[in-house]
Amino acid sequence: MPYADEAPVAQLDPGKGKTEKAYLWAYRSGKLEDGPPIVAFDYQPGRGGQFARDYLQDWQGRLMVDDFSGYKAP
């Protein structure tokens, strides 16, 4: 079963000289799929579930995630 998770990272805003919170989204293929495991990263400015939906697009199947409500949003 494929997995997904997101983690906060500090992003430098050059115009302000400060850091802001951004997110590194990680997606990993399942262990039962053919071939070597694949890990993909997607850097986004937020944690909203829309970022995962946009990345996965028309993919269908079950995705192992934590209980973050963004994954459940329509």
The CA distance from 51 to 7, in Å, is: 13
In the chain, what is the straight-line distance between the N-terminal and C-terminal CA atoms, in Å?
Answer: 21
SS3 12: strand
Dihedral (C-alpha) 42, 45, 49, 51: value to the nearest 10 degrees?
Answer: -40
Helix (H) or strand (E) holding 49: helix 49-56
- 9-58, pLDDT tens digit by residue? 999 988 888 999 999 999 998 877 778 889 999 999 999 889 988 998 98
For the whole model, what pTM was predicted?
Answer: 0.80
